[in-house]
Amino acid sequence: MISNLSVEHVTGHLLGRSEAGPVLLGSRCQSCGEHYFPATSSCTRCCGTQLSESVLGNHGELWSWTVQGFLPKSPYNSGESAEDFQPYGVGYVQLPCGLKVESRLTCADPQQLRIGMPMQLVEVDYGRSQERVLRTFAFAPASSPQEKQ
């Protein structure tokens, strides 16, 4: 279990860092308990406005996935061209609280991805702008790919 007290905010309002590595930061409605990612200030379930920061954790199960096989249109900003684009996996990962988070996946091999597999949150470089390396969160398979066979 990840303690709220140990989280350091690192990437805007999306990610924190704990002793166990990066964690997703969201919000939770104090009235009905609904979770949100990214964090929000009002609840679409009960119209409540009392939401608090919630540490959503660093793992989940792959709920659905696909492979992005061509360069996405703007505002995607990896700095790649259509010629040097590297396909990447994208999917929904269901967190223990039930929330499904859309995320880049570290794996783009359909033979290594399966619905329901355990996933672990990581930080990855995905490109470069003129000024800096671009980083984001992603989910990586938490188990050995050979386990599927």
Residue 124 CB: number of other CB atoms within 10 A?
A: 15
If you ran DSSP here, which 8-state letter would residue 45 be given? T
Interaction between residue 115 and Zn ion (CB under 5 A): no
Which of 25, 29 has the CB closer to Zn ion? 29
99 neighbors 37 (Cβ within 8 angstroms): yes
Q: Select the span of 4-12, 37-45, 97-105, 130-138 touching Zn ion (CB under 5 A).
A: 37-45
Which of 52, 86 has the CB closer to Zn ion? 52
Site string for Zn ion, 45-84 (x = CB under 5 A): xx-x------------------------------------
Interaction between residue 114 and Zn ion (CB under 5 A): no
Cα-trace Rg, the chain: 16
Q: Of the candidates 29, 55, 99, 121, which one interacts with Zn ion according to CB under 5 A?
A: 29
137 neighbors 10 (Cβ within 8 angstroms): no
Measured CA angle at 8 (ends 117, 105), to 5 deg? 25
If you ran DSSP here, which 8-state letter would residue 142 be given? S
Interaction between residue 31 and Zn ion (CB under 5 A): yes
Binding site for Zn ion (CB under 5 A): 29, 31-32, 34, 43, 45-46, 48
